Amino acid sequence: MRSPLGNRFKSVAGQVFVLQVAIVVLLAAGALLALVLQSRHDIDREARNRSVAVAETFSHQLGLQGALKTDDPSAVLQPLAEQTRKAAGVDFIVVMDTNGIRYSHPQPDRIGKRFVGTIEPSLQGKVHTESVEGPLGKEIQAVVPVKGPDGKVVGLVSAGLTVENVTGALDRQLPVILLAIATGLALATVGTALISRRLRRQTHGLGTQEMTRMYEHHDAVLHAVREGVVITDGEGRLVLANDEAKRLLGLPEEAEGHPIGDVPGLDRRIADLLLSAREATDQVLASGDRLLVVNQRPTHPHGRPEGAVVTIRDSTEMQILTTRAETARRRLKLLYDAGGDIGTTLDVVRTAEELAAVAVPRFADFVTVDLADQVVDGDEPAPGADMRRTAISGIRSDHPLYPVGRLIDFLPSTPQARGYGTGRAELVPHLDDAAGWKAQDPPRAEAIVDYGIHSLIAAPLMARGVVLGVVNFWRSQKQEPFDEDELSLAEELVARAAVSMDNARRYTREHALAVTLQRSLLPRALPEQSAMDVAHFYLPAQSGVGGDWFDVIPLPGSRVALVVGDVVGHGLHAAATMGRLRTAVHNFSSLDLPPDEILARLDDLVQRIDHDHNGDSEEGNGGVLGATCLYAVYDPVSQRCTMARAGHLPPLLVAPDGSTEIVELPAGPPLGLGGMPFETAELDLAEGSQLVLYTDGLVEERTRDISEGLELLRAALSHPDRDPHDSCRAVLDMLLPARPTDDVALLIARTRTLGADRVAQWDVPFEPSAVGAMRSVAAKKLDEWGLSELGFATELILSELITNALRHGSEPVRVRLLRDHNLTCEVWDGSSTAPHLRYAATTDEGGRGLFLVAQLSEHWGTRYTPEGKVIWAELSLPGEAGGGPEAALSAFLDVDPL
């Protein structure tokens, strides 16, 4: 009978237990030896380090060098050395001279004798440690030099420990080491026993024979699974191939044991993979008509590659499904990208280019976009309209397709014309057989086919039931023609792009209407005036027309008004509001009101507009969302400029010497707020000064703040030698963005003066007899100016105006004549009472004076000053259009002109 113990040790778990215990014992013995050697090494090193430290410390002892120079150094050094030795815990401290003769030693009889050890390295200034057989036995000692002030060695100090004391420390540590090793051995043995018990439980106490039988069973299962398993060795031989592997790879039954390169029927690519023994994960390889998924892992039974284990499964059907899924994923990705890449701008041409680019080369090799000619301009296309090639994108640029910009009249037989007419996409699988397509342009069609383009999809761009154009997808590289699935993809892609195209078309139309409206509302040409040289620039925003405007308005007395304004918002409403405000400014300017009063009236007007539209439920968004304005009046006679602003940016003033400054002008609230007055500022401008008015679109941008823009504007204007047009170009070159997000309006005016030779002014005594005297001096001045032809009309006008001032006005009274593009007669008085034009009855003795003035002059009117009022009248100079005052006087008197 077998003993239970013998059976236990014949099992796999028992054998593993014995092997592990043996290994643990060997490891414990090795660890003990290593710890003993390490401890010995550490203690020896510690002894040397302590010896060096003690010797160096004693070598620097105060009084040591002095004691060496005495007649009896031992008397001083022996007690000191012994005291230090006991305190430092070393066995000896020896002080000697440079010849090695001791001055101190734990054994006094050794004093005066030669030191046992090597002193030559220390005499050279080095620290030397060694192990010697000395008077105290086996010793570990260190020898250090004692250097004088000049660096010369004047003595030596040696300190050390005996090996007996060193090994005694090791002996004291040895029980602790043995206890630790024993504890570790016991724990390892217990752990090994637990592992063996677990292994016995997992193997059910089976022995090697039982394990062999189990392997045979597993081998039977291995050959029955529906996944190929191949095992190779390190020499490139086929060790194992189960039945499924032989079926999938077409291996013969006797393939096992042969070199892999000699196995008949094995595919070359699979053979190369097996011979490489590299790691492979789900690598797809073709073997005959099958697609095989191969996984390979190298084996390392002895720490080096000894072969590989390969699993193989058939994925032919799965690969077909995967291919279809990948195709569907790519198509979805194309549609997703098209949603983000098409329609990034509201530009028809750019949208067409984006549509053509997104489909190449992922869907087609060439894409052309043909739009109805009206669509490019923003209009809806008419039935049967000609189409213009708007965009082309392709894998090559030397294609024979119609170029961009070509106006094409497609024949009814072409797929493009059919698609445009029916709104349904047309598929032409083979262009070489499409007679209807070839009929459009036979030579070009032949060139397209010879180029390699063989298949076409013509998909109409339809939005809101209106066909805008046709998108053509051409294929050349892929041999298969377009199919029905790809036709559906083309329809979906074009349908998504059609929405963006229609949005761009409608925006183009609205933008064109707004631009047209705005251009019609802005001044096309600046009026003629002599007070300023003016240059202007206006650019609407790329995103939409805004409400910026500028104006130059001639005023009586050779004065001129400069206006710049900005209506918040974009589009038709902003442009229309701008036109209303500009017209209102013109009307208010005709009243010759001060700038602050004009802004106050504009403010009232904007409030009324807002009130009217807020009360209209059908047009609640028609009010003015906000507006700013700057109004300035310049008088070339006094060289004074009066200005006010309503929330607008302040103007810049460029002096004749080139210095620039921002005019300190009270801001005032934007138009429409109401309740707050506007303030004016007056500036005396030297001749040649430049006044710069602008809107925020010029100086404010996303990439910079407004203060930086103002500094750039000042830098661009700091050149007084430039005329306003050159200054305008310099400002635009420095500040104008490539794609402005807001309207840009710029007005640069350089002042001129009306010299004393063109101005005549007299104070009028407040008495009736002064009228005749004024007529006389005025006639003389006209003779000096060469305007004698205007003498009669001027005398008559002055007589009536001065008489009215003396009769109905108050002191002081002044008369001024201005010779400019016309002759201006001005009569000043201190009264604020305004005269009124009326028709006198036949029985009235008076009341015809202003009527005469109105008939004789081109224009007349009244303006108020802080001191009173001014009544003025303008007469055309001889030779000017309108016939002059003589013609008016002749018509009034109903006589034939001479």
Average pLDDT, the chain: 82
pLDDT of residue 300: 67
CB 25 within 8 A of CB 188: no
Structure tokens at 12: 């796999």
Partnered with residue 764 across adjacent β-strands are 813
779 or 24: whose pLDDT is higher?
A: 779
> Buried (b) or exposed (e) across 573-592, using 16+ Cβ within 10 A?
bbbbbbbebbebbeebbeeb
pLDDT greater than 70 at residue 459: yes
pLDDT greater than 70 at residue 208: no
Question: Rounded mean pLDDT of 649-659?
Answer: 91
pLDDT greater than 90 at residue 447: yes
> Buried (b) or exposed (e) across 784-796, using 16+ Cβ within 10 A?
ebebebbbebbbb
352 or 524: whose pLDDT is higher?
A: 352
pLDDT of residue 687: 92
93 or 223: whose pLDDT is higher?
A: 93
Question: Rounded mean pLDDT of 153-163?
Answer: 86
| 41-55, 681-695, 822-836, 844-858 — most confident range | 681-695
pLDDT greater than 50 at residue 845: no
Measured CA to CA, the distance from residue 14 to residue 3 in angstroms comes to 14
Residue 629 pLDDT grade (very low, low, confident, very high; cuts 50, 70, 90): very high
pLDDT of residue 562: 95
pLDDT of residue 646: 92
What φ, ψ does residue 73 adopt, rounded to 5°?
A: -60, -30
CB 483 within 8 A of CB 390: no
Q: Quick check: helix, strand or coil at residue 609?
A: helix
What φ, ψ does residue 248 adopt, rounded to 5°?
A: -70, -35
362 or 24: whose pLDDT is higher?
A: 362
Measured CA to CA, the distance from residue 571 to residue 575 in angstroms comes to 6
Amino acid symbol at 577? T
Question: Rounded mean pLDDT of 831-835?
Answer: 77
Measured CA to CA, the distance from residue 250 to residue 233 in angstroms comes to 20
What φ, ψ does residue 634 adopt, rounded to 5°?
A: -115, 135
- Region of poorest pLDDT, from 325-329, 430-434, 764-768: 325-329
Rg (CA), the chain: 56
- pLDDT, tens only, 382-396: 777 788 999 999 999
pLDDT of residue 448: 93
pLDDT greater than 60 at residue 6: no
Output the CA angle 615-616-621, nearest 5 degrees: 100
Question: Rounded mean pLDDT of 113-139?
Answer: 85
| Percent of the chain topping pLDDT 90 | 19
pLDDT of residue 431: 92
pLDDT of residue 188: 73
pLDDT of residue 169: 56
Structure tokens at 254: 């006797």
Residue 896 pLDDT grade (very low, low, confident, very high; cuts 50, 70, 90): very low
314 or 121: whose pLDDT is higher?
A: 121
Question: Rounded mean pLDDT of 198-210?
Answer: 64
pLDDT greater than 70 at residue 228: yes
- pLDDT, tens only, 698-744: 888 877 788 888 888 888 888 878 889 999 999 988 888 777 778 88
CB 669 within 8 A of CB 625: no
Partnered with residue 157 across adjacent β-strands are 95, 144
pLDDT of residue 891: 45
Helix crossing, 484-521 with 316-341: angle to 10°? Answer: 10
CB atoms within 10 A of CB 898: 5
pLDDT greater than 60 at residue 622: no
Helices (H), 204-242: 208-224
pLDDT greater than 80 at residue 590: yes
Output the CA angle 468-470-476, nearest 5 degrees: 160
Dihedral (Cα; 15, 17, 22, 26), 10-degree rounding = 140
State how far the alpha carbon of 487 is from the alpha carbons of 426, 743, 838, in Å: 8, 45, 83
Structure tokens at 394: 């392709």
pLDDT greater than 80 at residue 306: no
Torsion sign over Cα 578, 579, 583, 586: positive
pLDDT of residue 426: 92
pLDDT of residue 620: 45
CB 561 within 8 A of CB 589: yes
- pLDDT, tens only, 168-179: 555 666 677 777
Question: Rounded mean pLDDT of 854-878?
Answer: 86
CB 58 within 8 A of CB 113: no
Beta strands in 690-832 (DSSP E): 690-694, 744-751, 759-764, 813-819, 822-829
Question: Rounded mean pLDDT of 560-564?
Answer: 95
27 or 113: whose pLDDT is higher?
A: 113
Residue 839 pLDDT grade (very low, low, confident, very high; cuts 50, 70, 90): low
- pLDDT, tens only, 475-498: 998 888 998 888 988 888 898 888
Measured CA to CA, the distance from residue 506 to residue 509 in angstroms comes to 5
- Region of poorest pLDDT, from 149-153, 568-572, 627-631, 660-664: 568-572
- pLDDT, tens only, 667-707: 889 988 877 889 999 999 999 999 999 998 888 887 778 88
pLDDT of residue 299: 80
